Amino acid sequence: MSMFDPLQRKIKWSDLNATPFQSDGRVANLRGAADLELSAYLDRIGFTGTPAPDRATLETMQRLHLLAIPYENVDVQLGRPLTTDPAAAFEKLVTRRRGGWCYEMNGLFGWALSKIGFPVTRLASGVMRDTFGEATVGNHLVLRVACEDGPRLADVGLGNGPIAPFALMPGAFVAGGLEFFLEALGDGWWRLNNHAGALPPSFDFHLDRIDEPLLSASCLRLQTEPTSIFVQNLLCQRFVPEGHLQLLGRTLKRVTRSGTEERLISSAGELIDILARDFGIEEPQAADLWPRVAARHAELFD
């Protein structure tokens, strides 16, 4: 069995040693939390000053996190088990200076916010629920964060979503110069419609949909099922001061206010260079992914 083939590996439920949470979804008594240093996380994202549980701190932290830490699924592609445990996310994203997907990105972010004093609730949401229905719920973790002027929805794990937390008010809003639209769907459900051309196009959330077992099960499913986009495709995204970068398989896309540039990468060496230079991902073993990345591109486009 190749250690780099996620379609062949076996992941057990015991691999998902998820951190305990309170029944209302708030972060509570994280395993190993005494060893996690808030100052190390703040250094990782470049936050200076003294953080406080207020909206200004929340907005600054979300923007800095997205500029510093890439969204990426390299470990899924390499067949390395991932969990919903914020302690594991800290070790990977802060100590090893890697990126992650929503369970890691928002898991770490929610932990940091709670250490500062924000009331944080982890919500099981559904990317593209409008298309694929209730089966999507749990495929995305988002955070409800209490602020002095009302709750905000915070999300550093979408890849290419709002760079700022947003209020729960229906209608259009602008974040980072891009327009988003928030819909109230009824029965407590909301839909965030992403900006034009973004991946993914939308996700739905419910302010009372708190389900840690569902999040853990979805985390397992998305890294093992052959039909999962994360199993099928290498995906990295990152905010940069001038715009946004996206690597989807062989295609590198750079979006700035002056336009969009796309190009194809042509070798394993170039893949490693781009991961390191453009996304800050130092992972030499990713070179082993190149044959599958190239084959997937040929399957889709040749």
Which pair of structure tokens corresponds to residue 10? 């076996």
Active site annotation includes 273: no
Question: Which segments of 134-238 does DSSP mark as H helices, in order?
Answer: 212-222, 229-232
| Residue pair 41/112 in contact by the 8 Å Cβ criterion | yes
Asked if omega into 200 is within 30° of 0 (cis), the reply is yes
With 0-12 / 13-18 / 19 or more C-beta atoms within 10 angstroms meaning exposed / middle / buried, residue 287 is middle
User: Which is catalytic among the residues 75, 85, 147, 155?
Assistant: 155
Using alpha carbons, list the distances in angstroms from residue 188 to 22, 133, 209, 215, 218.
21, 16, 9, 19, 22
| Residue pair 254/243 in contact by the 8 Å Cβ criterion | yes
Q: Is the dihedral of CA 142, 163, 193, 246 positive or negative?
A: negative
**Which residue is associated with the tokens 């994280």?**
30
8-state DSSP, 69: S
Active site annotation includes 102: yes
User: Which is catalytic among the residues 65, 102, 219, 236?
Assistant: 102
User: Which is catalytic among the residues 65, 85, 140, 297?
Assistant: 140
∠ CA 182-151-157, nearest 5°, is 65
What is the CB-side half-sphere exposure of residue 301 using CA atoms within 13 A? 10
Catalytically annotated residues: 102, 140, 155
